Amino acid sequence: MALSHREPDRVPLDYGAKLPVTERLCQYLGVDPACEYSCYGEYPEALLQRLHVDIRTVRARYIGPPLEIGADGSQADVLGVRSSTDGYPLTHPLAHVTSVREIEAYRFPDPDAFDYEHYAEQCARFEDYAVCGGDWCPIFTYAMELMGTEAFLVAFHTMPEVVHALLERLTSYYCETSGRMFDAAHGKLDIFYTGDDYGTQVAPFISPRHFREFILPRLKRLYDLAKSHGLYVMQHSCGSVRAFIPDLISIGLDVLDPVQVRAAGMDIVGLKRDFGSQITLHGSIDTQRTLPFGTTEDVRNEVLQRLRDVAPGGGLILCGSQEYTIDIAPENIVTIYDTACEVGQRA
């Protein structure tokens, strides 16, 4: 109902956190932590049920050749980027490319390296929830990791043909993997949940002109694929992305994730006013100040404020403004969900 801009009996809830946060929260609540964890955040079902989370996110499990793990614990991913144990890229395989030919010669992973049968089983398992899925498809971020941040951003100006070629290869790959997931779901998938990071705390990474030239046409391919399967589209991007919202709406955006409320231009009341009739807003409980530094009463008050200011008429999915981090007390996380459910029961 929230995606259709109709007001439900209570605000829909979602959850996102790194593994150590989730483990500590399970211990705090005394719930079963058993789960298949993945880099995309599969969470213990007992925890999600305790928090009354309405969304389940399903990704296809990697079953290809073993990915190389270094002596320092770093690991290569399917596209050849080696990252540290906390997820930061250490190598950039395309750091020195100067031609489209080099992009075309780079070896991309085999779409057959994922378990689509298991994916279908997981989608069917969660039929009582809103099921998100498809591949993550971070075309901008992955291009940045393959080339390195500085080299990639400079290439927008010095080698635009190389940027176009790399983004096109990434998009084609993700269209193939996501399309296979959509087919495997057999109608049990509700939302295409795709992610990238187009914003910093203070501004977008790139200009609206470059976004429209390089990124938007590739996103449209992905969105069109999802829409052809009858799916809503939820786009993740950290940071300040207000400048891109009208363009995203123009190609079919349904849900913006997250509303990082302390980033420039991301005031949720203003976003609701300007875009609330067209898209659903996801997130908004402040993970940068209120949750790590506030009391449970501060958190409760912020939840109540969101329910007053943004929830009326639908179009809000409530959770943190980013993934919950280890500096957030478990009781503050729980307060979000208990407050939202308490208000829903009174309504």
Confidence at 34, pLDDT banded by 50, 70, 90: confident
Given the DSSP bridges, would you call strands 114-115 and 61-62 parallel, antiparallel or unpaired? Answer: antiparallel
Predicted confidence (pLDDT) per residue in 120-178, tens digit = 999 999 989 999 999 999 999 999 999 999 999 999 999 999 999 999 999 999 999 99
Residue whose C-alpha is closest to residue 125's, from 178, 35, 182, 188: 188
pLDDT greater than 90 at residue 115: yes
Say whether pLDDT at 61 is over 80. yes
Sign of the Cα pseudo-torsion (114, 118, 120, 124, in order): negative
Residue 40 has pLDDT above 50, yes or no: no
Evaluate if residue 41 carries a pLDDT over 60: no
- CA-nearest of 171, 278, 279, 186 to 225 is 171
Residue 39 has pLDDT above 90, yes or no: no
DSSP 142-209: HHHHHH-HHHHHHHHHH-HHHHHHHHHHHHHHHHHHHHHHHHHHTT---EEEEE---B-SSSBSS-HH
Task: Report the mean per-residue pLDDT for the chain.
Answer: 95
* pLDDT level of residue 346 (50, 70, 90 thresholds): low
What confidence tens digit (pLDDT) does each residue in 314-344 have? 999 999 999 999 999 999 999 999 999 999 7
Across 23-37, 38-52, 67-81, 269-283, the highest mean pLDDT is recorded for: 269-283
Residue whose token pair is 């009326």: 312
Domain that holds residue 303: 2-346
CATH number at residue 136: 3.20.20.210
Domain count, the chain: 1
Single-letter amino acid, residue 268: I
Q: How confident is the model at residue 347 (pLDDT cuts 50, 70, 90)?
A: very low
pLDDT of 35 above 90: no
- Quote the CA–CA distance of 277 and 273 in Å, as a whole number: 8
Q: pLDDT digit string (tens) for 257-266?
A: 999 999 999 9
State yes or no: pLDDT of 38 exceeds 60: no
The pLDDT, as a whole number, for residue 42 is: 74
User: What is the pTM assigned to this prediction?
Assistant: 0.95
pLDDT at 37 exceeding the cut of 70:
no
The neighbouring-strand residues paired with 191 are 132, 232
pLDDT in tens, 5-16: 888 899 999 999
